[in-house]
Amino acid sequence: MICVSIAHISQINEALQQGAELIEVRLDLIREDPGEIFSGIPGHMKTIATCRSDGYNDNERKVLLKACMDLGASFIDIELESSPGYASELIYHAQECATDVIVSYHNFGMTPDRDELRGIMDKCYKLGGNIAKIATTVNSREDLNSLLSMYELPGRKVVIGMGGPGRITRVMAPYLGAEFTFASIGGGGETAPGQMTVSQLNDIYKVIDKT
């Protein structure tokens, strides 16, 4: 399944036209009322509500994420480094709304070694995540091997490498058991380094599936 990450409300229609199967609503980038955002998303479309801390405090983020859950968000994303109070309040609300919780870890500088990645993944589940998401910057072949080895572990997960060398992990993720992989609509709409477009991923998958 391909998740298209949306940074502006105007990108929703483009994502739908390109064949998005899941939409990540980046509240910290869109900066619009959740009601207005979700009014433009078809009811059958699965969504991830994400609000990073840039420009928002924890109370503001909780209000936004809870509103998205009340509007039917399929998933919320909580950062691994979140305070216990922030995380527990959102997880409790997610349980009331039957919303799956993604606990995410991002490292924009490097990829930890395998043992550290295993520990990070375990912490994601212990915090209360139904799904562990790990996204790190790939600087070497060993980084790729370390990331891909996480798919050998039990549990629902998404493990991807950021940057150009990490693109192969975005392609491989669905075949290795990831819940989904991330893409953009293109045209400068990327929300993370190394994101490919929906069209690029679909073209690659068509070739792979034919062979």
Active-site positions? Answer: 106, 133
Q: How far separated are the first and last CA of the chain, in Å rounded?
A: 19
DSSP 64-122: HHHHHHHTT-SEEEEETTS-HHHHHHHHHHHHHHT-EEEEEEEESS----HHHHHHHHH
Could you tell me the sign of the dihedral formed by the alpha carbons of 68, 27, 24, 186, in that order?
positive
How many Cβ atoms sit within 10 Å of the Cβ of residue 119?
A: 11
Which tokens go with 54? 């840039």
Amino acid letter for position 50:
T
Q: Do residues 107 and 137 lie in contact, with contact meaning Cβ atoms separated by under 8 Å? A: yes
DSSP-based three-state secondary structure for 50: strand
Tell me the C-alpha distance between 131 and 24, whole Å.
15
